[in-house]
Amino acid sequence: MAVRGRTRSTYAQITVLLLVMAGKCLVDGYGGGAPDSVCSTLMVSHGDATPRTSAPPYRIATSSTIYTARQNLTGILHSGR
């Protein structure tokens, strides 16, 4: 029985290892942040994503338009509906 349990454990470890390795191949991240080409325009460049041209479906209101360091600021998120 001990051999059978150990074999299942080995299969589980191999399965996890293969899943991690497969996931690594599918992930495309930037460890140093976004590419410099994006920073100059601040435009989204994730595949064929396009920027929104209509008004956002929300509005953010703050308790003050001018604030200083360590001052509390209250924000309210309003739905567009």
pLDDT at 9: 82
Lowest mean pLDDT among 3-7, 23-27, 32-36, 67-71: 3-7
Give the residue, 58 or 20, on which the prediction is more confident: 58
Q: 10 Å Cβ neighbour count for 38?
A: 14
Does 1 have pLDDT greater than 50? no
Q: Whole-prediction pTM value?
A: 0.35
Over residues 47-58, the pLDDT tens digits come to: 677 777 888 888
Query: Could you tell me if residue 63 is inside a domain?
Result: no
Query: Could you tell me if residue 36 is inside a domain?
Result: no
Residue among 56, 63, 59 at smallest CA distance from 77: 59
74 near 62, Cβ under 8 Å?
Answer: yes
Give the residue, 64 or 24, on which the prediction is more confident: 64
- C-alpha torsion sign, points 63, 68, 71, 72: positive
Query: Could you tell me if residue 72 is inside a domain?
Result: no
Write the single-letter amino acid at 18: L
Segments forming the whole domain that contains residue 21: 1-26
Query: Could you tell me if residue 14 is inside a domain?
Result: yes
Query: Could you tell me if residue 71 is inside a domain?
Result: no
Q: What angle do CA 67, 71, 72 make, to 5 degrees?
A: 105
